[in-house]
Amino acid sequence: ILLANGVYAAAYPLHDGDYEGENVEFNDRKLLYEEWARYGVFYKYQPIDLVRKYFGEKIGLYFAWLGVYTQMLIPASIVGIIVFLYGCATMDENIPSMEMCDQRHNITMCPLCDKTCSYWKMSSACATARASHLFDNPATVFFSVFMALWAATFMEHWKRKQMRLNYRWDLTGFEEEEDHPRAEYEARVLEKSLKKESRNKETDKVKLTWRDRFPAYLTNLVSIIFMIAVTFAIVLGVIIYRISMAAALAMNSSPSVRSNIRVTVTATAVIINLVVIILLDEVYGCIARWLTKIEVPFSDPSLGAHLLCNNLLHRFRFVGRPGDYVYIFRSFRMEECAPGGCLMELCIQLSIIMLGKQLIQNNLFEIGIPKMKKLIRYLKLKRQSPPDHEECVKRKQRYEVDYNLEPFAGLTPEYMEMIIQFGFVTLFVASFPLAPLFALLNNIIEIRLDAKKFVTELRRPVAVRAKDIGIWYNILRGIGKLAVIINAFVISFTSDFIPRLVYLYMYSKNGTMHGFVNHTLSSFNVSDFQNGTAPNDPLDLGYEVRICRYKDYREPPWSENKYDISKDFWAVLAARLAFVIVFQNLVMFMSDFVDWVIPDIPKDISQQIHKEKVLMVELFMREEQDKQQLLETWMEKERQKDEPPCNHHNPKACPDSLGSPAPGHAHHGGVL
């Protein structure tokens, strides 16, 4: 309450001491810095037990989970590299891309935009078609199945590792304690009690009701709707930029520029997307923290859940044919996929966003912003201090030195960063097999970066006991399940894997892929262009074009039902849907099988726990037996106290039931 009301500026545990310098005494902080928080020790295992000792179990579990996740990325990266190398090795043997690059086919394609774009040769997209094979080949399907099983194995491996840590850290019998109210919550409750508002009659404690929270919830809802609208507006703006940029480049006189229109437009649009994502991520993160603060959650765990929901909500964000395209605002024509497929464009987008986000936001911001804040605090302190500033700094107490560090803001940003990366690795791995490799390289730096931040840049957090990573485990499982569905749709509807299979087994005359490209292209009579949409320069190729081709399954212009969807389209669509169903159920079954086969508790740990339980039962039984013996001994002594003595005055109390004298006793004369 004192913190919430501003009586105290901060409250935090002190660090053990300094971590660098010649005359610094050896302490746990210095040991963590030397063996954990330096980039030069990236090849070493993390000292998780020391991390847990210094920061507590909750932070120790985070770094243990991050280490397991990074370790599991190694086999995924190796398989991803093999899939990529397979695409490189078979590039020259790919018949569809060879046909697209063969200039002898002389296939004239329809314009990519209205009026300003002219007809173009399909062979000009040769480079894109060859590059698409690197990520769109039969090995991609295998890799998608592998990554689904990898995600299930990773979750099981983490549960086993978590159980080992629980046993080692004596958390097997630990139960989560009742959440303690946060300082802000107690301050609001105190303010409400002073106003003599409603009380809970059973516990005699004032609590915040839904009426107290309703204004905050309403503000939160309106803000979320507004920011989602802003996000969609920006996405729409990027789409319009792509369309306009494509039309502008199509007017360029350079053949090389016109042949690379799609790659240029995609790359520049993705860079704009990346900048917007980073800016909105920071803005939405600040707004989410503010909205969470005004909601006044009861405890710190509920604070993390509210912040998580707000962050996730703020991160969410059909083409036609020639003569009948789909338009935005009746002016901007929707883009269509290249003859080589849309997977290459998706790969470019994912690679730029993933690499850019990790390099700029996750690493550069985490390194640069704390350093900048620290420098600003140092300059401000130097300006306010006397001339002998350096001596003043040396005489500072530990609590004063730690006060200049950044306050600990919780583990939610750290987990969120890795959850988004896990989504990149699993959700779209069918279109970007190198994602695990880039994630691995990033995490090798990320572990040491986070370690250095906790040891050198942040105030020491309050140690909190915990036996698991909480809600984040369920989120990871949900992403793993969702990845199966998304990869099934990416392979089925984005790549040409299914159309190639359908052509190979239904339409190919010689059992090869020869003729596949021509089979996927439909014909259009240029006389059927809508008014004002035909190319301004129809003779740009040097000859008159009467029929142009476009990627779709439609009836030709000389058919009775010209430009209607053909039977081939329905055959391919049925195969796509069948693949989604089979792929999803098969991979889900295999993932559940892996989950069932791998036990959650390692065998040696379960045996050790069983032995400890047996020893505990034996100890309790021995204690009960000892208690029983002591009780019997005490009762015997009490019984003996109550019995009369054995002598000649009371012969019946003697052991001899007949009352005869004991051996060695004499009754004659009363003399022994």
Taking the mean position of all CA atoms in its chain, how far away is CA 59?
A: 17
Residue 258 belongs to a domain: no
Q: Comparing C-alpha atoms, which of 337, 126, 146 is closest to residue 242?
A: 337
Whether residue 95 contacts residue 152, with contact meaning beta carbons closer than 8 Å, is answered with no
Bridge partners (DSSP) of residue 324 are 321
Whether residue 111 contacts residue 535, with contact meaning beta carbons closer than 8 Å, is answered with yes
Tokens read off for 15: 């660090």
Whether residue 564 contacts residue 554, with contact meaning beta carbons closer than 8 Å, is answered with yes
The CA-atom distances, in angstroms, between 217 and each of 185, 291, 292, 304 are: 16, 8, 9, 16
Residue indicated by tokens 């740990």:
605
Give pLDDT, residue 665.
46
CA gap 187, 181 in Å, rounded: 10
Residue 427 belongs to a domain: yes
Residue 234 belongs to a domain: no
Residue 214 belongs to a domain: no
Residues of the chain with pLDDT under 70: 1, 4, 175-214, 216-217, 250-260, 262, 284-285, 288-345, 361-364, 381, 384-395, 539-540, 642-672
In tens, the pLDDT along 69-126 reads: 999 999 999 999 999 999 888 888 888 888 888 877 778 888 877 777 778 888 877 8
In tens, the pLDDT along 232-264 reads: 777 777 777 777 777 777 666 666 666 667 677
- DSSP strand pairing (320-321 vs 120-121): unpaired
Q: What is the 3-state secondary structure (H, E, C) of 3-57?
A: CCCCCCCCCCCCCCCCCCCCCCCCCHHHHHHHHCCCHHHCCCCCCHHHHHHHHCH
Give pLDDT, residue 300.
46
CA gap 36, 453 in Å, rounded: 11
Residue 75 belongs to a domain: yes
CA gap 68, 264 in Å, rounded: 39
Give pLDDT, residue 10.
84
Residue 643 belongs to a domain: no
Give pLDDT, residue 70.
94
Residue 135 belongs to a domain: yes
Determine the angle formed by the axes of helices 138-168 and 412-427, rounding to 10 degrees: 150
Residue 360 belongs to a domain: yes
Domain housing 503: 28-179+317-384+409-598
φ, ψ of residue 324 to 5 degrees: the values are: -155, 55
Give pLDDT, residue 310.
46
DSSP annotation of 505 reads I
For 487, the enclosing helix (H) or strand (E) is: helix 471-489
Taking the mean position of all CA atoms in its chain, how far away is CA 427?
A: 10
The CA-atom distances, in angstroms, between 33 and each of 372, 411, 441, 587 are: 21, 20, 21, 43
CA gap 130, 91 in Å, rounded: 7
Give pLDDT, residue 437.
92
Count of domains observed in the chain: 1
The CA-atom distances, in angstroms, between 64 and each of 73, 240, 450, 468, 573 are: 14, 45, 12, 11, 45
Q: What is the pTM of this model?
A: 0.77
